[in-house]
Amino acid sequence: MKLSGLLARQEEVRPGVTGTARVPRRSGELPQRLGPGDIVLLDQVDLDRRTADALVAAGVVAVVNAAPSISGRFPNLGPEVLSAAGVTLIDRVGRDPMRMIKDGARLRLHEGRVYSGDRELASGTDQDADSIADQLIEAKTGMTAQLEAFSADTIEFLRTERMLILDGVGVPAVTVPIEGRHVLVLVPGYGHADDLKRLKRYIKHYRPVLIGVDAGADTLLRAGYHPDVIVGDPSGIATDTLKRATEVVVPAHLDGHAPGIERIQDLGIGALTFPASGNPEDLALLIADAHNARLVVTVGFQATLHEFLDRGRSGSNPSTFLTRLRLGSRLVDGAAVASLQRAAGSNGALAMLLVAALVVLGVALAVSGFGASFLAVLVDFARSAFGRLGEWFA
């Protein structure tokens, strides 16, 4: 029997969850290679839903977190997502033991412990649905302190980025024509792919400028759309997507360093840099605002207070809050647009039935000799009605 087969049989006998370790290159990021059966090592306080969604979509079997996945500051959503998907979560393992584990190593998790073969490498807290629920209840009491800290962070952010937020100074001049047009900004948030499908009629009718943020650009391409602008770290975006975009904007740190710019240069793709401390989705909104977009529809963005706090990126909340204030009434959630379309579609169907019934009645009256003039009025009415229906269903 081959050695690999023997090891596989031994893993089946041992209790717990087994898989291949995936270690991120930098703290706070996801590993670049993720797939079914992987065990992901993280160091992220307050695991957010976006990260959890990405892990579930990749098919990972377990997550080992060096930090507490729920710190108690606020009821973050990530651990609940992992639990609902049946993904094992071990918390508070610590950074030192995690440094011993190499990417690609075979691991086994059992009762809060991390093993390589029979050797214990690390131990932490094994989280389940009950423990997560209890911690989230306690975390709700921390929201007041979190909001107070957010207020202070917002004032500090405005001091450093006031020229950008108030006057748009520093926003790159993209070549894609945006002024007076609708803009759709897609980020890889919860349910973003499904929300994009629901906006098919809206996109067909208004032909908005399509801005994909990070992996949201890949979603646009998979849905059959051509990304007009991509905003994000190119290292996490497919090569084909980058090549098809009209414009690529790479967020840069205030010191000028732009993560992923080397990949763009290797591919021979021209790109603009956007030095700012905000997150990529906020920078995408600022690009639409600075170029005088008529309306900005967001897909995959946070919509509730819990989601707003549950962002997983330190310091990003003030940017998000002030950016949305900047756009004001021009900013519309994609789910709301889809709901209005469905309502319009229902009204349109009723109108079609009404018009059809009136036309039948008019024809009957005309044939009987009493409704020729009424039929002429109906013809005019039908032309107007079907014109409006054309707009509804375009």
Q: How far from the centroid of its chain's Cα atoms is residue 44's Cα?
A: 18
Q: How far is CA 260 from CA 232, 253, 267, 341, in A?
A: 9, 12, 11, 38
Q: Which of 228, 224, 334 is nearest to 288 (CA)?
A: 228
At 226, list the tokens: 């051509």
| Residue ranges covered by each domain of the chain | 3-140, 142-333, 338-393
Q: Name the average pLDDT for the chain.
A: 80
Q: What average pLDDT does this structure show over 31-50?
A: 88
Q: Which of 293, 383, 285, 364 is nearest to 326 (CA)?
A: 285
Phi, psi of 104 (to 5 degrees): 95, -5
| Range scoring the smallest mean pLDDT among 33-42, 258-267, 288-297 | 258-267
pLDDT for the residue 370:
47
Per-position b or e across 300-328, b if 16+ CB within 10 A of its CB: bbbeeebbbbbbbeeebbbbbbbbeebbe
Asked if 236 and 215 count as a contact pair (C-beta separation under 8 A), the reply is yes
Convert the pLDDT of each residue in 175-204 to its tens digit: 999 999 999 999 987 678 888 999 999 999
Q: How far is CA 142 from CA 71, 148, 149, 305, 321, in A?
A: 9, 10, 11, 13, 20
List all residues 6 or more positions away from 96 whose beta carbon is below 8 Å from its beta carbon. none
pLDDT for the residue 313:
45
Distance CA 88, CA 99 (A): 20
| Range scoring the smallest mean pLDDT among 94-103, 281-290, 357-366 | 357-366
Q: Which of 247, 192, 238 is nearest to 218 (CA)?
A: 238
At 243, list the tokens: 């090549």
Convert the pLDDT of each residue in 202-259 to its tens digit: 999 999 999 999 989 999 999 999 999 999 999 889 999 999 999 999 988 766 778 7
Q: Which fold has domain 3-140?
A: Glucose Oxidase; domain 1 (3.50.30)
Confidence of residue 385 (pLDDT cuts 50, 70, 90): very low
Confidence of residue 344 (pLDDT cuts 50, 70, 90): low
Amino acid symbol at 187? V
pLDDT for the residue 140:
78
Please report which helix (H) or strand (E) contains residue 130, including its range.
Answer: helix 129-139
Task: Tally the residues of the chain.
Answer: 394
pTM of this prediction exceeds 0.85: no
Convert the pLDDT of each residue in 106-118 to its tens digit: 999 999 999 998 8
Confidence of residue 306 (pLDDT cuts 50, 70, 90): low
Q: What average pLDDT does this structure show over 345-354?
A: 51
Of 392 and 128, which is predicted with more confidence? 128
